[in-house]
Amino acid sequence: MTKPFSRLLAGPLMPASVFVLSLIISLAAYAFLHPDKDGRIFFFPDNAGTRIGSERRGIPHRHDTAEGISVFLEELILGPETLALSYSLPRETVVRHVAVVGKTAIVDFNNELLNIDEKLPISFDQALENLRYNVVFNFPGIEELVFTIEGQQVHSPPYIGLDDAE
């Protein structure tokens, strides 16, 4: 009885059994080794700049809120996957730093953020409002956002140091 069974196992069932065994090992490895992902909703303006559309994506999980916001903003800068939607920020925009103090997030960008009016179908203020909504929606612990460009707070008078005042 064992000889016909071993002939059957070595014959036509061998490739199928190897396939099933490798599938089980692959699924077990994925279940234990896959990186954690957070499901996030991204809001983008449409190509005409008249409506807002949304996309759901998984992004790498970060335990620190500031790091999570930074990764989220970098994904937002990459733009939408749907062709009917447009970018929220110019592609050359760089998130320089994110800090979270209590329920306030401070986000510093490079100067490319100033080119929104030239490169996107929405205005600078609409883009900042969309950005604010994206972060507050996806990070419920954040209630207020402060945007800076190269360290200068948006919509505030420029800082004049004591050396410049003379």
Whether residue 166 has pLDDT greater than 70: no
The span from the CA of 107 to the CA of 68, in Å, is 12
The predicted structure's pLDDT at residue 36:
76
Predicted TM-score (pTM) of the model is 0.73
User: Which residue has tokens 């998130």?
Assistant: 95
The predicted structure's pLDDT at residue 98:
96
| Lowest-confidence pick of 59-63, 67-71, 160-164 | 160-164
Whether residue 158 has pLDDT greater than 90: no
Average pLDDT over residues 150-164: 74
Q: What is the pLDDT of residues 44-64, one digit of tens each?
A: 999 888 899 999 998 888 889
Q: What is the pLDDT of residues 127-148, one digit of tens each?
A: 999 999 999 999 999 999 999 9
Three-class SS state of 52: strand
Burial of 52 (0-12, 13-18, 19+ CB in 10 A): middle
User: Going by CATH, does the domain composed of 37-153 fall within 3.40.50?
Assistant: no
Closest by Cα among 82, 61, 79, 81 to 71 = 61
User: pLDDT confidence of 70, banded at 50, 70, 90?
Assistant: very high
The predicted structure's pLDDT at residue 54:
93
Domain boundaries, the chain: 2-33, 37-153
The predicted structure's pLDDT at residue 2:
58
The predicted structure's pLDDT at residue 55:
94
Q: What is the pLDDT of residues 9-54, one digit of tens each?
A: 566 667 777 888 888 888 887 777 766 777 899 999 998 888 999 9
Give the CA angle between residues 36, 102, 40 to the nearest 5°.
30
